[in-house]
């Protein structure tokens, strides 16, 4: 098991204006398939990716928001969201999507994957990761 690395995917872009958010999701799913220790971080405009209630029908593009809620099925249990980034944008945890995983150590109880962290805590999480992929 020593070859399991801690991957951190850093998301800093809003969802539709660029392709980064969608590309990040694709790469995250690939990483999860290789059974690595995967964590996601959302900061700066990246927090907008998790703002619930997308309706892309008028825009005419695919609504890929449901894919975020499916990440728990790929055993992604750590989704860090930076508190300062939320506050600057007038958002709180209540405005975000529900993201859950099933905890195998706790009789498969459904638990929230979202962890609101401070900028300082996120800096430490970055330090503690083996691989950081930035989007």
Q: Which residues bind another protein (CB under 8 A)?
A: 13-17, 44-45, 48, 51-61, 63, 88-91
CB-nearer residue toward another protein: 37 or 45: 45
Give the nearest distance from C-beta 90 to another protein in angstroms: 2
CB count within 10 Å of CB 95 equals 15
Give the strand pairing for 131-134 and 6-11: parallel
Ordered alpha helix ranges (H), 34-133: 65-69, 83-88, 119-128
CB-nearer residue toward another protein: 38 or 47: 47
Give the nearest distance from C-beta 58 to another protein in angstroms: 4
CB-nearer residue toward another protein: 60 or 105: 60
Radius of gyration of the chain (CA): 15
Q: What is the DSSP letter of 115?
A: E
């Amino acid at each position: 098991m020593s070859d399991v690395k801690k991957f951190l995917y850093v998301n800093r872009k809003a969802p539709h204006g660029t392709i980064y958010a969608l590309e990040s999701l694709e790469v995250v799913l690939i990483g999860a398939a290789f059974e690595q220790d995967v964590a996601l971080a959302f900061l700066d405009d990246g927090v907008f990716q998790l703002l619930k209630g997308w309706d892309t029908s008028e825009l005419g593009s695919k609504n890929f928001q449901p894919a975020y809620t499916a990440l728990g099925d790929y055993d992604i249990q750590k989704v860090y969201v930076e508190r300062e980034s939320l506050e600057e944008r007038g958002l709180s945890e209540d405005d975000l999507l529900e993201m859950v995983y099933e905890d195998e150590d706790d009789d498969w109880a459904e638990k929230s994957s979202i962890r609101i962290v401070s900028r300082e805590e996120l800096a430490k999480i970055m330090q503690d990761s083996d691989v950081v992929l930035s989007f």
